[in-house]
Amino acid sequence: MDPWHTGDTIAAISTPLGAGGIGIVRLSGPDAPAIARRLFRPRRPRHAWQSHRLTLGHIVDARGAVIDEVLLAFMQAPHTYTRQDVVEIQCHSGIAVLRRILGEVLAAGARPAGPGEFTLRAFLSGRLDLTQAEAVAELIAARTEAGLRVAADHLAGGLGRRVQQCRATLLELLAFMEAMLDFGEEAPEVYSLDVTHELLAQKSLVAAWVDSYREGRLLREGLLVVIAGRPNVGKSSLLNRLLATERAIVTDIPGTTRDLIEETLDVGGVPVRLTDTAGLREARDPVEEIGVARTRERLARADLVLYLLDGSQPFDEADRAALAELAHRPALAVVNKADLPQTLRDDEIRTAAPLPVLRLSALTGQGVEELKGAILNLVLEGGLSAGRQLITQERHAHHLRNCLACLERADKLVPRRRREDAPWELAAFEMREAVRELGQITGEEVGEEVLDRIFSRFCIGK
């Protein structure tokens, strides 16, 4: 029974395709050494084929013609990523070279690896638990230092260990409940731990993890921030100022920006996906019409809206209407052009919508750092928490929420003092479910389809 065919030797290009210094073709499986011996001609054969050593040589095709000069690493099982024999061929990174070498490897008997299949093998062999395997993808996708730190903690097994510990405690509680159920009064003394106390402790632990997902999700997915406002208020200038580049075209002609412009920016460790939009107004031609429609669509999806106004202009009816629409969403009223004499008053904005008002100048940069602080404040109540124990994956959050619900139900069933006639059976049922939910996170109790789903999101070669 091996639904994943771990006995096959798999191969893939493990580096991104494109011109570069080196590219790697990776093999894992029982035939990896034999395939490598057929294709690799070491420069100094006497020193070749030592495990975990790099060897210089050539990859040749079936007729013996040289394809590329490479460094080959042969890593003998079990001290490898997959715990199988692994070979990595480090060649020059060109699409043609990499494809050619992979082609020869496949012709020699390997099959193409599926997405994430190397990491799947690392998981199946027990080298990584499921949270660690998922952290590989998380680490690769990390866009800020803070995101990287959390992913690295998960990869090192921090999350897996914490969940394991919690699961072990729940199993003890379950054993106690089952003993009460089976033996009642004669339940062995060793089980007389303080159930309610321990249950509460685990419940608040799981609840804290569930809470941390808000922050964790932000770190992983980033925050979608949209700059909106009437034409010419300085939206593109603000985008450029925040990015510190001339990304968007700025002119004094209203209606300069017609399409969405999106860039990612690191604000206090949170990846912010910042979108500059077409100015909101009655469109005067079909292109502008599409631009305004795109702006509205993007606005609907925004996690946070920066509504920009021109402080040197009087308050406008169109602004009042737009602000009123934002009244009950995460939004900031940002008054730009603070370097010019101001005619727009805070209270005019506040009567339109109860939003925080910030003044800045995209031209001089004054107030821009305060804006970053305000963004963090609004979405994270002051910035990322120092702790790294964040839940970052929806899959984990989902099982933790389920687990918490089980623990809450169990807690209601367990009497505050030891009683033989309490509904131990129901409590034990909830506890068993809670344990199962945690087991799904670390991968102890996880089905084939779930694994397929998780690893299919990886890229090939990981």
Ligand X SMILES: Nc1nc2c(ncn2[C@@H]2O[C@H](COP(=O)(O)OP(=O)(O)OP(=O)(O)O)[C@@H](O)[C@H]2O)c(=O)[nH]1
Q: Which residues bind Mg ion (CB under 5 A)?
A: 235-236, 256-257
Rank residues 22 and 318 by Cβ distance to ligand X and give the closer one: 318
**Which one of ligand X, Mg ion, none interacts with residue 110, CB within 5 to 8 A by kind?**
none
382 near ligand X, rule: CB under 6 A = no
Structure token pair of residue 22: 């080196």
**How many residues does the structure list for the chain?**
462
CB 462 within 8 A of CB 139: no
SS3 29: coil
Rank residues 77 and 260 by Cβ distance to ligand X and give the closer one: 260
User: Which listed residue (156, 168, 324, 340) binds ligand X by CB under 6 A?
Assistant: 340
Rank residues 236 and 361 by Cβ distance to Mg ion and give the closer one: 236
x-marked contacts with ligand X along 275-314 as a string, rule CB under 6 A: ----x-----------------------------------
User: Which listed residue (121, 154, 298, 337) binds ligand X by CB under 6 A?
Assistant: 337
Q: Are strands 86-93 and 66-75 parallel, antiparallel or unpaired?
A: antiparallel
CB of 303 to ligand X, least distance (A): 21
Residues sharing a CB contact under 8 Å with residue 106, sequence separation 6 or more, in sequence order? 11, 112
CB atoms within 10 A of CB 297: 11
x-marked contacts with ligand X along 341-380 as a string, rule CB under 6 A: --------------------xxx-----------------
121 near ligand X, rule: CB under 6 A = no
**Which one of Mg ion, ligand X, none interacts with residue 109, CB within 5 to 8 A by kind?**
none
SS3 376: helix
x-marked contacts with ligand X along 173-212 as a string, rule CB under 6 A: ----------------------------------------
What is the C-alpha separation between 398 and 386, in angstroms, rounded? 24
End-to-end CA distance of the chain: 24
| Angstrom distances, CA of residue 41 to CA of 54, 99, 398 | 13, 19, 51
CB of 251 to ligand X, least distance (A): 6
CB of 360 to Mg ion, least distance (A): 16
Q: Are strands 304-310 and 331-336 parallel, antiparallel or unpaired?
A: parallel
Rounded to the nearest 5 degrees, what angle is found at the Cα of 455, between the Cα atoms of 450 and 456? 95
- If binding means CB under 6 A, how many residues of this protein chain bind ligand X? 23
CB of 318 to Mg ion, least distance (A): 16
| Angstrom distances, CA of residue 281 to CA of 19, 237, 289 | 45, 18, 9
235 near ligand X, rule: CB under 6 A = yes
Which residues are bridge partners to 305 per DSSP?
A: 226, 331
What is the C-alpha separation between 48 and 268, in angstroms, rounded? 49
Nearest to 320 by CA among 357, 356, 351, 354: 351
User: Which listed residue (50, 165, 204, 251) binds ligand X by CB under 6 A?
Assistant: 251
Number of H helices, E strands in the chain: 15, 13
254 near ligand X, rule: CB under 6 A = yes
Segment interacting with ligand X, rule: CB under 6 A, options 110-118, 143-151, 249-257, 385-393:
249-257
Rank residues 33 and 279 by Cβ distance to ligand X and give the closer one: 279
Binding site for ligand X (CB under 6 A): 229, 231-237, 250-252, 254-257, 279, 336-337, 339-340, 361-363
